[in-house]
Amino acid sequence: MKIGRVIDSIWCTRKEDELRGLKLLRVKLLNREKESENGEIIVATDLIGAGIGELVLLTNGSAARRSEGLENAPVDCIIIGIIDEKNEDEGDIHE
Amino acid sequence: MKIGRVIDSIWCTRKEDELRGLKLLRVKLLNREKESENGEIIVATDLIGAGIGELVLLTNGSAARRSEGLENAPVDCIIIGIIDEKNEDEGDIHE
Amino acid sequence: MKIGRVIDSIWCTRKEDELRGLKLLRVKLLNREKESENGEIIVATDLIGAGIGELVLLTNGSAARRSEGLENAPVDCIIIGIIDEKNEDEGDIHE
Amino acid sequence: MKIGRVIDSIWCTRKEDELRGLKLLRVKLLNREKESENGEIIVATDLIGAGIGELVLLTNGSAARRSEGLENAPVDCIIIGIIDEKNEDEGDIHE
Amino acid sequence: MKIGRVIDSIWCTRKEDELRGLKLLRVKLLNREKESENGEIIVATDLIGAGIGELVLLTNGSAARRSEGLENAPVDCIIIGIIDEKNEDEGDIHE
Touching check for E7 and chain D: CB below 8 Å? no
Could you report the per-residue pLDDT of B9-65, keeping only the tens digit for each?
999 999 999 999 999 999 999 998 876 676 899 999 999 999 999 999 999 999 998
With pLDDT > 70 as the criterion, what percentage of chain A qualifies? 87
Measured between alpha carbons, how far is A79 from D37 in angstroms, rounded to an integer? 33
B76 closest CB neighbour out of D1, D82, D84: D1
A94 touches chain C (CB under 8 A): no
- For D44-88, the DSSP string reads EEESS---TT-EEEEEEGGGGG-STT-TTS--SEEEEEEEPPPPT
Between chains, do C63 and E42 touch, taking CB under 8 Å as contact? no
Test the D interface: residue of E2, E27, E80, E90 with most D CBs within 10 Å: E80
Neighbour subunits, D (≥3 Cβ pairs < 8 A): B, E
Phi, psi of E62 (to 5 degrees): -65, -20
Q: How far apart, in whole angstroms, are the C-alpha atoms of residue C45 and residue B76?
A: 27
C8: enclosing H helix or E strand: strand C2-9
Nearest Cβ partner for C64 among E10, E18, E74? E74
**Distance between CA atoms of residues A65 and A15, nearest Å:** 18
- Whether A13 sits inside 8 A of B82 (CB atoms) is yes
Q: Which C residues in the span 67-86 are in contact with A, Cβ-Cβ below 8 Å?
A: 72-77
Q: Are C59 and C77 in contact, with CB atoms under 8 Å apart? A: yes
Q: Sorting pLDDT into bands at 50, 70 and 90, what band is A95?
A: very low
| Nearest chain D CA: its distance from B66 CA (Å) | 12
- Which of these, E65, B66, B3, A79, lies nearest to C60 by C-alpha position? E65
Closest CA relative to residue A5, chosen from A58, A48, A45, A49:
A58
The SS3 call for residue B37 is: coil
| pLDDT tens digits along E20-35 | 999 999 999 999 887 6
Q: What is the ipTM of this complex?
A: 0.88
Mutating which of C42, C59, C93 best tests the E interface, going by the most E Cβ atoms within 10 A? C59
Nearest to D63 among B14, B43, B76 (CB): B76
Distances (CA, A) of E35 to C38, D40, E50: 19, 12, 22
Q: What is the distance between the alpha carbons of residues D34 and C51, in angstroms, rounded to a whole number?
A: 44
**CB of D25 within 8 Å of any CB in chain E?**
no
Residue B2 pairs in a beta bridge with: B58
Q: Within 10 A of E51 (CB to CB), how many other CB atoms are there? A: 10
Question: Consecutive sets of 10 residues in chain C, 95 residues long: mean pLDDT of each?
Answer: 97 94 96 78 96 97 87 94 75 49
Picking from C3, C12, C16, C7, the residue whose alpha carbon sits closest to that of residue C84 is: C3
Residue A35's pLDDT is: 66
d(CA D19, CA D42): 16
Q: Rounded distance, CA B43 to CA D31, Å? A: 9
Please tell me the distance in Å from C17's CA to the nearest CA on chain A: 9
Q: How far apart are CA E5 and CA E51, in angstroms?
A: 9
- Categorize the per-residue pLDDT at D69 as very low, low, confident or very high, splitting at 50, 70 and 90: confident
CB-based contact (8 Å) between D59 and chain B? Answer: yes
- Report CB contact under 8 Å: E44, C1: yes
What is the average pLDDT score of chain E? 88
Closest CB from E49, E63, E83 relative to D10: E83
Residue D91, CB half-sphere, CA atoms under 13 Å: how many?
1
Which residues, in sequence order, are bridge partners of residue D55?
A: D5
Neighbours of B29 (CB within 10 A): 18
Q: Considering chain D, what is the average pLDDT of its residues?
A: 88
In chain D, % helix, strand, coil (3-state, to 5) comes to: 10, 40, 55
Element (H, E) at B83: strand B77-83
Write down how long chain B is: 95
Partners of residue D12 on adjacent β-strands:
E83
φ, ψ for residue C80, nearest 5 deg: -110, -5
pTM for this structure? 0.91
Q: What is the CA radius of gyration of chain B?
A: 14
What is the set of domains in chain C, with CATH numbers? Answer: 2-82 (2.40.50.220)
Residue of A nearest to B62 (CA): A62
Asked if the Cβ–Cβ distance from C81 to E26 is below 8 Å, we say: no
Task: Tell me which of D13, D15, D32 to substitute to probe the interface with E (most E C-beta atoms closer than 10 Å).
Answer: D15
Which of E1, E47, E66 is facing D42, going by the closest CB pair?
E1
Nearest to D12 among E37, E61, E83 (CB): E83
